[in-house]
Amino acid sequence: MFNINDLQDKLKKAIAFYWQTRAAQGKKQKEQGASDQGARSAVTGGAQMDGIIHLLSDIILEAGIPKANIYSNHSLQLPGFFRPTKEWDLLVVKNGQRLLALEAKSQVGPSFGNNFNNRTEEAMGSALDLWTAYREGAFNATIKPWLGYFFMLEDCERSNSLVKVQEPHFKVFPEFGGASYAKRYELFCRKLVRERHYSVSSFILSSKTNGINGEFAEPASDLSFEMFVRSMIGQLTAFGEA
């Protein structure tokens, strides 16, 4: 059984892996003459979130789910309603039931504005597609699926600076007034859960400077990684024998 007391140390290692992988990818592409792509040069190689995915996969395995039922690098497609399939970052499928699916995403500057809109639209659209497909009987006859959303944001001056909103016709909701991108992401992750689009969400901050040593911050207790893991284990404990 997974030891929750070791969770913080294991998460630190996963976060360190993220920044180390990102730095190595950026260096490699720069050496190959791809540095003109800017910050994108460090993300086109992918794999930065592998540390998080491997950690969650290990937790699922220790919770008693056979390795054959855990999908983290292949067979990640689920049927959608508005599109044929959607590829998730981690799945557990057992005896014809989808026990859980999750997304693990991140954002590093400098284009926080455009990427914030893209990330929020992507997450909301994926949830709508999945729940509509579930309603229409695409999967799971007896178990309500569990859906998780993990997000890590670069902790820097730009992501923590107040952002002015445009209100040419109507006032935005007050919580968005002057909120930084870090605060916007926190609100977004919380609203995803409160509006029942996702079963649970985790939001963490980590900087380029200290993140390479595994350091991170959790600005909201209801969006902690431990809460995320406890919810996931609860789903597997309740339905893992299905």
Angle formed by the axes of helices 181-194 and 112-135, nearest 10°: 10
With cut-offs at 50, 70 and 90, classify the pLDDT of residue 114: confident
Average pLDDT over all residues of the chain? 90
- Per-residue pLDDT for 131 more than 70? yes
DSSP-derived secondary structure letter, 68: G
Structure tokens at 21: 């992988």
Distance CA 77, CA 219 (A): 32
Amino acid at site 215? E
List Cβ neighbours of 14 (8 Å cut-off, separation of 6 or more).
51, 52, 54, 55
User: Are the C-beta atoms of residues 224 and 216 closer than 8 Å to each other?
Assistant: no
Q: What is the largest CA-CA distance in the chain?
A: 55
Which residues contact residue 32 at a Cβ distance below 8 angstroms, ignoring those fewer than 6 apart? none
Q: According to the model, what pLDDT value does residue 152 have?
A: 97
For residues 116 and 184, the answer to whether their CB atoms sit within 8 Å is yes
Percent of the chain with pLDDT over 70: 92
149 with 102: CB under 8 angstroms?
Answer: yes
- Can you give the pLDDT at residue 46? 56
pTM of the model: 0.91
Of 37 and 54, the one with more pLDDT: 54
- Predicted confidence at residue 41, as pLDDT, reads 42
- Does position 200 have pLDDT exceeding 70, yes or no? yes
Q: Which residues contact 174 (CB under 8 A, 6 or more apart)?
A: none
What's the chain's Rg over C-alpha atoms?
A: 18
**Of 89, 95, 119, whose CA–CA distance to 242 is shortest?**
95
- What is the C-alpha separation between 185 and 165, in angstroms, rounded? 15
Question: Dihedral of CA 50/54/56/60: which sign?
Answer: positive
